[in-house]
Amino acid sequence: EVKSPAMTGQWEAFLKKIQFGEAELEPFLDGIGQYVRAVVGKVCQTPPVEQSSAVSTSPKISDSPHLPIPAKVLNSTNLTELLQSAFGFSAFRPNQEAVCRAVMAGKDALLVMPTGSGKSLCYQLPGLARGGTTLVISPLIALMDDQVLKLKQLGFAVECIHSGRDRETSRRVCSDYTSAHK
């Protein structure tokens, strides 16, 4: 259902209407929000998949022996300190800090930036600073895989679900998540 080409086409068509002033952004974003809540609700209602002893779950942040982030920083509101300790960057790129602060304040954000300008940090850093789960929906499988790999190398508990993974793996990821967050 989530990887439906028809749904992708509908969303792209709606975005074109927004681009040409033929539709409004708010109803589109509201529809996506409702869709995501419905899909996550379905996943949470799915019975857990039996796991063999060979399957291991992702480490929690506190379990990682190589974690570069002191626990006190995770609770800090100093985003620059968290940026440096979590990701090794000494400063924000243009617009990143303002976007991160808006997200930290619970505001909605639509961020359009060129490739390589640091969009990913704008949801990763606030998610880390807020201490909860960050759900990212992206049509770019290669980007998801790349970000998951990099974040795991930094010691973060992170996973992805996409059409390139088998159904059993995706169900395990969802089951592991819901089990860890009950």
Instruction: List the one residue out of 151, 158, 139 whose CA is nearest residue 4.
Output: 139
Which contacts of 80-85 are long-range, i.e. CB under 8 A and separated by 24 or more positions? 82/125, 82/128, 82/129, 83/121, 83/125
CA dist., res. 13 & res. 102, Å (int) = 28
Pairwise CA distance, residues 69 & 83, whole Å: 10
Q: What is the pLDDT along the chain (182 residues), one digit of tens a residue?
A: 666 677 777 877 888 888 888 988 888 888 877 887 787 777 666 554 433 333 323 333 333 333 344 443 444 348 899 999 989 999 999 989 999 998 888 888 888 888 888 988 998 998 888 877 888 877 788 888 998 999 999 888 899 988 888 889 988 988 888 888 76
